C-alpha cells in the first residue's frame, strides 16, 4: 500500500500549499466550508453551487479520510489505489462551479470504482492480482467514459476479492494478492463480503459519495447488506460490461453502491445505456433507459410484494428484523402476500458449469486485448504457481484449473447447463410475481457478516436469495433494514427484467419510512 500512502500525502501537500499564508497583502484566501459527514450527492452539488473552489476541497477531504482510516487507523484496506490525477480533475471542474453550464449529474462527485473496471489513465486495473500490475488496458471501460462525461471525480480503485472471488472454492472475501484483506467497518474482525467488498466498505466508511461494484452472483448485494448500504444489481444488459474483467457473459453486470436509494438511482442513471460493443445492451438501442431519479417517490401505498419465506429461518435475529421490515411496508399501505419460488435443486451445479465455461472464454478474450502481461487463463495459472507465496498463501486456484479444463461454448455440457439456468430461474421469478400480480419479491438479503477466516475461507449464512435473480439476469436491490448484534442486514427487492424503476420506488418508500441505516463506529472525520 506504499503507492496509496504516497498519493495521499502528495494530495495533502497540495492542500497545505493551497491554504498557506502569503497569497496576497490585502486579501487572504477564504477557507472552504467543512465537508459534512456522509454527504449525499444533492448536498455535495449544493456545496459546489454555493462555494467556489469547493470541488478540490472535497477531493482533498476524501483523500485525507482514506489516509486516516483506510491506510492508518483501523486500516480497512478498501481502496487499493488512489487516482494520481484526481486532484487535477477536481481543479479543472472548480472554475465551472456556481451552477454554470456543462454540469453533469455527477459534477464534482467523488466516485470509487472496483479494480476490475478498466481505466486508461495512470491507475492500474488488476482484479486484485499481481499478474496484471505491469499491464495496462488500452482504453476506458464504457461505463468509465459515462462517469467522466457526467462530471465525476474518479477518486481511485477499490480492493476486491481477487478475480471477483472466482479463483478458489475456499477463497476469502475481500482478500487479494495486491490489496491485502479488506475489513468490515462495523467490526474489523468480520468479513466485508462478496467480491465488491472494497466498494461496499468504502461507501459505508464515507471514503467517497458512491462507488461502482460488479456482480456475477451476490457480489454487489452481499457487501451492500453486511456494510449497511444500498446496492443495485441491475438487469443484465442495462449496464455495459465492455472493459470489465469478466466472469460470465450470462450473469455479469456492474452496478451502483451508495448510502441511500436516491444516490444509487442517480449513479444508475449515469451507468445505464446502450453500448454497441456489448450485445447484451441491444434492447436499449432504440429505448434508452429512464432517469431513475423520477422513481424516488415515498408513496408506495397499493403496491404488492411477495414474501419468500423459504429464505428465512437461518438466523432468529434476521427473522425479527425482517418481520419489522414487513410491518413497515404494511404500515405504508403495501399489500404483503406469501409466495413460493420453485427452483430445481440442480440450479447451483448448472450455474457453476456455466460460469466455468464462460470464464475461460471471457477472460481469454479480455486478456488478448491487453497489450502486455498474461494473455490467457493458462498464463494466469502459471503465474500463480510461480508466485505462490504471494498469490496463494491462504487458498489455491482450483476454479481456475477447472475452468481451464473446460472446452468451447459449443460443448453439449455447456449448452445443456445454460438451458437449465437462466430461463429456468427467470420463469420461476416471473411465475411467483404473476401468481398474485406482484410488483416485487422480498426476502432477507443475508445474515450478519461472519468472522474473517483465512484458513477455512468464507462461511456465510443466508444469502441464497442472490442466486435466482443473478442466474436469471434480473434486477435485485438491497436496502439496510436494521442491525443484528450491531451488524447490518439488508432487505432484498427482486423483480422481473428491466423493472429497476419499480424496485427503486419500493426501496425508496421503505427506506424513507424505516430510516434503518446506522453509520459504522468510525469518527466523522
Known catalytic residues are 114, 195, 219
Residues 6+ apart with CB under 8 A from 95: none
**Closest by CA position to 361, among listed 315, 306, 418:** 418
For cell 451488524, the residue is: 487
Task: Write out the three cell numbers for 58.
Answer: 472535497
Determine the Cα–Cα distance for residues 298 and 509; give it in Å rounded to an integer.
Answer: 4
Q: What is the DSSP string of 51-75?
A: STTHHHHHHHHHHHHHIIIIISTT-
Any idea what DSSP says for residue 190? Answer: B
Give strand pairing partners of 523. none
Instruction: Determine whether 342 is exposed, middle or buried from the number of CB atoms within 10 Å of its CB (0-12, 13-18, 19+).
Output: exposed
SS3 label, residue 263: helix
Q: Is 458 left (phi over 0), alpha (psi -120 to 50) or beta?
A: beta
Determine the Cα–Cα distance for residues 363 and 85; give it in Å rounded to an integer.
Answer: 29
Q: What is the DSSP string of 96-109?
A: GTTT-TT--TTTT-
**Closest by CA position to 221, among listed 195, 245, 260, 241:** 195
Q: Are 480 and 229 in contact (CB under 8 A)?
A: yes
Determine the Cα–Cα distance for residues 192 and 186; give it in Å rounded to an integer.
Answer: 9
Q: Are 490 and 221 in contact (CB under 8 A)?
A: yes
How many residues are listed for the chain in this entry?
525
Determine the Cα–Cα distance for residues 173 and 175; give it in Å rounded to an integer.
Answer: 6
Rounded to an integer, what is the distance from CA 512 to the centroid of its chain?
22
**Closest by CA position to 497, among listed 419, 394, 418, 427:** 427
Q: Are 44 and 152 in contact (CB under 8 A)?
A: no
Give the orientation angle of helix 261-271 with respect to helix 500-514, to 10 degrees.
Answer: 160
- From first CA to last CA, the distance across the chain in angstroms is 21
Q: Are 424 and 343 in contact (CB under 8 A)?
A: yes
Neighbours of 339 (CB within 10 A): 18
Task: Write out the three cell numbers for 227.
Answer: 456494510
Q: Are 97 and 52 in contact (CB under 8 A)?
A: yes
SS3 label, residue 379: helix
Amino acid at each position: 500500500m506504499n503507492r496509496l500512502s504516497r498519493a495521499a500525502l502528495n494530495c495533502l501537500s497540495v492542500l497545505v500549499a493551497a491554504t498557506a499564508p502569503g497569497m496576497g497583502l490585502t486579501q487572504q484566501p477564504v477557507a472552504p466550508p467543512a465537508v459534512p459527514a456522509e454527504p449525499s450527492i444533492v448536498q455535495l452539488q449544493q456545496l459546489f453551487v454555493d462555494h467556489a473552489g469547493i470541488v478540490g476541497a472535497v477531493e482533498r477531504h476524501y483523500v485525507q479520510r482514506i489516509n486516516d482510516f483506510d491506510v492508518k487507523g483501523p486500516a480497512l484496506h478498501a481502496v487499493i489505489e488512489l487516482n494520481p490525477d484526481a486532484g487535477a480533475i477536481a481543479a479543472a471542474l472548480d472554475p465551472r462551479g456556481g451552477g454554470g453550464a456543462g454540469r453533469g449529474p455527477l459534477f464534482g462527485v467523488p466516485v470509487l470504482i472496483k479494480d476490475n473496471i478498466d481505466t486508461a489513465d495512470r491507475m492500474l486495473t488488476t482484479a486484485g492480482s499481481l499478474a496484471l500490475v505491469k499491464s495496462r488496458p488500452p482504453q476506458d471501460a464504457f461505463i468509465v467514459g459515462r462517469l467522466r462525461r457526467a462530471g465525476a471525480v474518479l477518486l481511485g480503485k477499490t480492493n476486491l476479492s481477487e478475480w471477483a472471488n472466482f479463483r478458489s472454492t475456499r477463497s476469502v472475501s475481500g482478500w487479494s494478492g495486491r490489496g491485502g484483506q479488506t475489513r468490515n467497518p462495523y467490526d474489523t474482525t468480520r468479513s466485508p463480503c462478496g467480491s465488491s467488498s472494497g466498494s461496499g466498505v468504502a461507501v459505508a466508511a464515507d471514503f467517497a459519495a458512491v462507488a461502482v461494484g460488479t456482480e456475477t452472483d451476490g457480489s454487489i448485494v452481499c457487501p451492500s447488506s453486511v456494510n449497511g448500504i444500498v446496492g443495485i444489481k441491475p438487469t443484465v444488459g442495462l449496464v455495459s460490461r465492455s472493459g470489465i474483467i469478466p466472469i460470465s457473459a450470462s450473469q455479469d453486470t456492474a452496478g451502483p453502491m451508495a448510502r441511500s436509494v436516491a444516490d444509487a438511482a442517480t449513479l444508475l442513471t449515469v451507468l445505464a445505456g446502450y453500448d454497441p460493443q456489448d450485445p447484451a445492451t441491444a434492447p436499449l438501442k432504440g429505448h434508452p433507459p429512464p432517469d431513475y431519479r423520477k422513481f424516488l417517490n415515498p408513496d408506495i401505498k397499493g403496491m404488492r410484494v411477495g414474501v419468500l419465506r423459504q429464505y428465512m429461518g437461518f438466523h432468529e435475529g434476521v427473522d425479527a428484523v425482517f418481520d419489522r421490515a414487513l410491518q413497515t411496508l404494511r404500515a405504508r399501505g403495501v399489500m404483503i402476500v406469501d409466495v413460493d419460488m420453485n427452483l430445481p435443486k440442480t440450479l447451483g451445479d448448472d450455474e457453476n458449469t456455466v460460469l466455468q465455461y464462460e470464464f475461460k472464454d471471457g477472460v481469454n478474450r479480455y486478456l488478448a486485448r491487453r497489450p502486455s502481461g498474461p494473455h490467457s487463463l493458462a498464463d494466469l495459472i502459471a503465474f500463480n504457481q510461480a508466485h505462490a507465496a504471494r498469490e496463494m498463501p491462504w487458498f489455491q486456484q482450483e476454479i481456475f484449473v477447472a475452468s481451464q479444463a473446460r472446452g468451447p461454448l459449443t460443448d453439449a455440457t455447456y449448452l445443456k447447463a445454460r438451458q437449465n439456468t437462466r430461463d429456468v430461474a427467470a420463469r420461476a421469478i416471473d411465475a411467483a410475481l404473476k401468481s398474485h400480480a406482484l410488483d416485487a419479491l422480498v426476502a432477507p438479503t443475508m445474515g450478519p457478516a461472519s468472522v474473517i477466516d483465512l484458513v477455512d475461507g468464507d462461511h456465510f449464512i443466508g444469502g441464497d436469495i442472490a442466486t435466482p435473480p443473478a442466474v436469471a439476469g434480473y434486477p435485485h436491490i438491497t436496502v439496510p433494514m436494521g442491525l443484528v448484534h450491531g451488524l447490518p442486514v439488508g432487505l432484498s427487492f427482486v423483480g422481473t427484467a428491466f423493472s429497476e424503476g419499480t424496485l427503486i420506488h419500493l426501496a425508496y418508500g421503505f427506506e424513507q419510512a424505516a430510516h434503518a441505516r446506522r453509520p459504522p463506529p468510525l469518527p466523522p472525520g
